[in-house]
Amino acid sequence: WSITGADAARIVNTAQGTLYADFATGSVVPVNVYPTVIALQGQDRQNESVVYTTNNSVNFGIKTNNINQGNNYAFAQTEREIKVAAIYESSSGTFAANGLLAAPFNVNTLPITSQICIGNNNGTQNFLNGYIRRLTMYPKRLTDSQLKALTR
């Protein structure tokens, strides 16, 4: 599912925000496959903020001009239900998963959003094999303690 163009631009605060997702993966994720929970993307996909999974982690990354910035939270392969809250703002990003706060990372420039993809990346790939129970976009940066509380 995706929202594009002016509709996406009206939803996303491009200066700062917090993405929250309560989701579950349906099976073990194969190596080199990156199921996407939510992606805020520019038109060229060289610019995006994305929450995705791998075979042993949930990740939050911000890519600007095809340069990746981000962090991840490793989890046991049996841990399939995950709550994650990710913050983006003009100079930094961070996220919490299942009550644990990841280290912050620097952000050079935030991408401009022209598409919001839910459960996939670019509407054509990296489909989430599972379900999203709750997805919320806050138009502001929540505090670190709020991130941890949201994801417990």
Instruction: Assess whether pLDDT exceeds 60 at residue 109.
Output: yes
Instruction: Assess whether pLDDT exceeds 90 at residue 143.
Output: yes
Percent of the chain with pLDDT over 90: 28
Q: Which residues are CB-neighbours of 63 under 8 A, at least 6 positions away?
A: 46, 47, 48, 49, 50, 69, 111
Q: pTM, whole model, 2 decimals?
A: 0.88
